[in-house]
């Protein structure tokens, strides 16, 4: 394969913060990005070559995107997989990850069945179509997490159910086809950002995620667990990739139990929030890796530069308002800290508005105490930010 720059134009379905960071990573490679998103002046618009305003199921918008691109990818699971397949065939373009993979992942029940069939460890689960199904799941598993089969993200569509009295409210909250998964009593949640290229696989070091109210708050690398568990998590991530077709980066979330057992929670067929640490903390960011992968270029090194903590900047407001972030100077003045603002005009309660990373010094210790200190400092910096 011969690679020259300036490179091709990459069409991206979705223009949120992930599309923004994809465009930022593509530019130094000589790759231009055109995004498709229904929100005018979406977060990716200021850094992408152009934006096509259209829905994620708009055939005309998809055709226009395909006519202006040399390859296609997506940064949101709401992208219509059938439309992606149709326009790629009509225009002779590659789509990565494949539309078939998107179709498999966007339905959590189909996803879990495919993983189970491939021997990838997953928590016990069952289909839920009505109250009787959920009651049967409670009897079989005890406490369960009821999950919307499609459309859920950032904790939306996930409802814990512990008693029969909660069944009707949980089904109403999910509002459609669902699955029940046994409630895993996990010691920590891990994630692996894994990249699949042309005949090569690269996995980033295992991260440890901290959630609150089902929303990711922080990620720290290295994860605070033993080497055998880290190796097992990497092994499981590679097993997940064997189920998925097409090139690209995948965010693979896992549970680790007190006994060191690993099971897969969910998969994202795109760069993932838990991989944002890679921008400053790894030799190749997850976003550059995704661009390289979907274009069929050689993958970069995923090696970690130093211990790194990432903290999400969430909307700390009680109701929607114009987005203006204060206290930024404290982050800018901190050694090893980097701020990423997503360019959203409106802040809403718990909406992801940006993130910050804090890197340790090169050669710093991986001892849990040092990682704890790094995470505490990242939290302090994040908590010092405020919406005016």
Q: Prior bond to 6 cis, omega within 30? A: yes
Beta bridge partners, 158, equal: 147
Entry pTM: 0.94
Please state which CATH number belongs to domain 186-387.
3.30.470.20
Please state which CATH number belongs to domain 9-95.
3.40.50.20
Q: What per-residue confidence (pLDDT) applies to 213?
A: 83
Q: What per-residue confidence (pLDDT) applies to 150?
A: 87
186-387 has the same fold as 124-182 = no
Q: What per-residue confidence (pLDDT) applies to 225?
A: 96
Q: What per-residue confidence (pLDDT) applies to 362?
A: 60
Please state which CATH number belongs to domain 124-182.
3.30.1490.20
Q: What per-residue confidence (pLDDT) applies to 7?
A: 87
| Nearest-angstrom CA–CA distance, 250 and 173 | 28
SS3 labels along the chain = CCCCCCCCEEEEECCCHHHHHHHHHHHHHCCEEEEEECCCCCCCCCCCCEEEECCCCCHHHHHHHHHCCCEEEECCCCCCHHHHHHHHHHHCCEECCCHHHHHHHHCHHHHHHHHHHCCCCCCCEEEECCHHHHHHHHHHHCCEEEEECCCCCCCCCEEEECCHHHHHHHHHHHCCCEEEEECCCEEEEEEEEEEECCCCEEECCCEEEEEECCEEEEEEECCCCCHHHHHHHHHHHHHHHCCCCCCEEEEEEEEEECCCCEEEEEEECCCCHHHCCHHHHECCCHHHHHHHHHCCCCCCCCCECCCEEEEEEECCCCCCEECCEECHHHHHHCCCEEEEECCCCEECCCCEEEEEEEECCCCCCCCHHHHHHHHHHHHHHHHCCEEC
Beta bridge partners, 127, equal: 179
| Annotated binding-site members | 108, 147, 181-184, 189, 211, 265-266
For 284-301, what is each residue's pLDDT tens digit?
A: 999 999 999 999 999 999
| Annotated binding-site members for ATP | 108, 147, 181-184, 189, 211, 265-266
Q: Prior bond to 319 cis, omega within 30? A: no
Length, in residues, of the chain = 388
| Nearest-angstrom CA–CA distance, 154 and 78 | 14
Q: 10 Å Cβ neighbour count for 186?
A: 17
Nearest CA to 77 out of 106, 111, 53, 51 is that of: 106
Question: What residues contact residue 273 under an 8 Å CB cut-off, 6+ apart?
Answer: 216, 219, 251, 312, 352, 355
Nearest CA to 11 out of 89, 118, 84 is that of: 84
| Nearest-angstrom CA–CA distance, 143 and 164 | 10
CA angle 330, 20, 157 (to 5 degrees): 90
| Nearest-angstrom CA–CA distance, 3 and 295 | 10
Q: Are strands 144-148 and 158-161 parallel, antiparallel or unpaired?
A: antiparallel
Exposure on the CB side of residue 387, measured as CA atoms within 13 A? 23
Low-confidence ranges of the chain (pLDDT < 50): none
| Nearest-angstrom CA–CA distance, 298 and 293 | 7
Domain residue extents for the chain: 9-95, 124-182, 186-387
Q: Which tokens go with 326?
A: 């204060």
Q: What per-residue confidence (pLDDT) applies to 151?
A: 77
């Amino acid at each position: 394969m011969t690679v020259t720059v300036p490179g091709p134009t990459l069409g991206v379905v979705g223009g949120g913060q992930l599309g923004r960071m994809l465009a930022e990573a593509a530019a130094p490679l000589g790759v231009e990005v055109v995004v498709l998103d229904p929100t005018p002046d979406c977060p990716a618009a200021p850094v992408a070559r152009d934006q096509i305003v259209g829905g994620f199921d708009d055939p005309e918008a998809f055709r226009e995107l395909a006519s202006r691109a040399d390859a296609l990818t997506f940064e949101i699971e709401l992208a219509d997989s059938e439309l992606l397949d149709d326009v790629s065939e009509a225009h002779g373009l590659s789509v990565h990850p494949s539309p078939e993979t998107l179709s498999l992942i966007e339905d959590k029940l189909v996803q879990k069945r495919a993983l189970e069939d491939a021997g990838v460890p997953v928590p016990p689960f069952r289909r839920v179509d009505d109250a009787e199904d959920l009651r049967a799941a409670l009897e079989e598993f005890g406490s369960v997490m009821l999950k919307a089969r499609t459309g859920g993200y950032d904790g939306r569509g996930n409802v814990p159910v512990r008693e029969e009295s909660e069944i009707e409210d949980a089904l109403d909250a999910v509002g459609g086809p669902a699955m029940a998964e046994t409630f895993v009593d996990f010691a920590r949640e891990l994630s692996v950002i894994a990249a699949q290229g042309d005949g090569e696989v690269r996995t980033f070091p295992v991260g440890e995620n901290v959630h609150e109210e089902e929303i990711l708050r922080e990620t720290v690398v290295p994860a605070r667990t033993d080497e055998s568990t880290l190796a097992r998590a990497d092994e499981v991530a590679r097993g997940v990739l064997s189920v998925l077709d097409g090139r690209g980066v995948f965010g693979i979330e896992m549970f680790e139990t007190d006994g060191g057992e690993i099971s897969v929670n969910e998969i994202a067929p795109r760069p993932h929030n838990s991989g944002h640490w890679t921008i400053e903390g790894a030799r190749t960011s997850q976003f550059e890796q995704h661009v390289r992968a979907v274009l069929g270029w050689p993958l970069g090194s995923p090696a970690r530069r130093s211990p790194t903590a990432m903290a999400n900047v969430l909307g700390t407001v009680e109701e929607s308002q114009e987005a203006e972030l204060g206290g930024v100077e404290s982050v800018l003045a901190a050694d090893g800290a980097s701020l990423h603002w997503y360019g959203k005009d409106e802040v809403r309660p718990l909406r992801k508005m940006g993130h910050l990373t804090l890197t340790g010094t090169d050669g710093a210790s991986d001892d849990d105490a040092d990682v704890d200190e790094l995470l505490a400092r990242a939290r302090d910096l994040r908590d010092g930010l405020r919406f005016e």
